[in-house]
Amino acid sequence: MPDVFHPFAPYVGLRYVRARTHKFFVSFITWVSLLGVGLGVAALIVILSVMNGFEGELRDQLLTLSAHARVVVVAGADAPDQAEWDAVAATVRTQPGVTGAAPYIEVQALAVHQPDMLPVVLRGIDPVRENNISDIAKVLRDGTLNDLAAGADHVLVGEGIARQLGVARGDALTVLIPTVGADGTPAPKLREVRVAGDFDAGSQEQDGALVLANLADVRAMGAAASDMGLRLRYADALNAPAMSAGLRRLLPRNLQVID
């Protein structure tokens, strides 16, 4: 009978590990089973650790130049003026869990460098506040945010765009923005800009399609007021849905939050 001072389960386990000589096969099977379970658990821990690390690295790459949420104009609603945008940004920055809020303008455009052309996303940013929203400083290969001064007509392009168009720092680039005139006819606007540098975020969606410029320069190129918005950054990216739901109650009816 097992000792009353010892638990029953360890007693049974040790009993079969330390089997008598004539029951060596039972002991062998036990040790093989223990070894198999140990190796299985070790493999599971390693795989989970690798997957968690890969998930974190992938999330960081995807969010390098992306905001955790955006405040945009509701489709068909009147766009706020600059004073209203400033008031909304000030309100949002005071909310717990919000670490940054910066204005932006984003339009579809065409980048031309003879003889090649490429459809791109032209994003106007505030160079002073951009570091509070994204990790662009970590992925810049050439140039700095200080190069995007208002009125300089400088741009930062993704590594994929630079490679496909064959442009480098100092090269001229023509940007075509499709706009519509007052009478409803297409009235595309052309603007020659200068490449101030490039970035490599490790994501083809960003490196192959994104062009960054100063907010004022993109507005001067003819971007519509409805193309403007706010980019937000939260303390915890995974908490973006809950944070955005709380911010929606603070916004005017003509604005919405997209996380």
Is the torsion defined by CA of 122, 128, 132, 134 positive or negative? positive
CB 220 within 8 A of CB 229: no
Query: Comparing 169-178, 181-190, 200-209, which segment has the lowest mean pLDDT?
Result: 181-190
Give me the residues paired with residue 10 across strands: none
Reported as a pLDDT band with limits 50, 70 and 90, residue 141 is confident
**C-alpha span between 107 and 76 (Å, rounded):** 17
Q: Does position 18 have pLDDT exceeding 70, yes or no? A: no
Pairing assessment for the beta strands 210-214 and 116-125 based on DSSP bridges: parallel
Distance between alpha carbon 70 and the CA centroid of its chain, in Å? 12
**C-alpha span between 101 and 247 (Å, rounded):** 12
pLDDT tens, residue by residue, 31-42: 788 888 889 999
**C-alpha span between 210 and 243 (Å, rounded):** 27
Which residues, in sequence order, are CB contacts of 179 under 8 Å at separation 6+? 186, 187, 188, 189, 222, 224
Q: Does position 1 have pLDDT exceeding 60, yes or no? A: no
Q: Does position 53 have pLDDT exceeding 80, yes or no? A: no
Helix (H) or strand (E) holding 29: helix 24-62
Nearest to 100 by CA among 231, 258, 215: 231
**C-alpha span between 231 and 132 (Å, rounded):** 10
The per-residue DSSP string of 38-70 comes to HHHHHHHHHHHHHHHHHHHHHHHHHTSS--SEE
Q: How high is the pLDDT of residue 44?
A: 92
Mean pLDDT taken over the chain:
81
Q: How high is the pLDDT of residue 167?
A: 87
Amino acid letter for position 140: L
Reported as a pLDDT band with limits 50, 70 and 90, residue 185 is confident
pTM (2 d.p.): 0.73
SS3 220: helix
Q: How high is the pLDDT of residue 182?
A: 67
All structural domains of the chain with their residue ranges: 8-62, 69-258
Strand ranges inside 147-209, DSSP E: 154-158, 172-177, 189-199
pLDDT tens, residue by residue, 70-129: 888 888 788 888 888 888 888 888 888 888 888 888 888 888 888 888 888 888 888 888
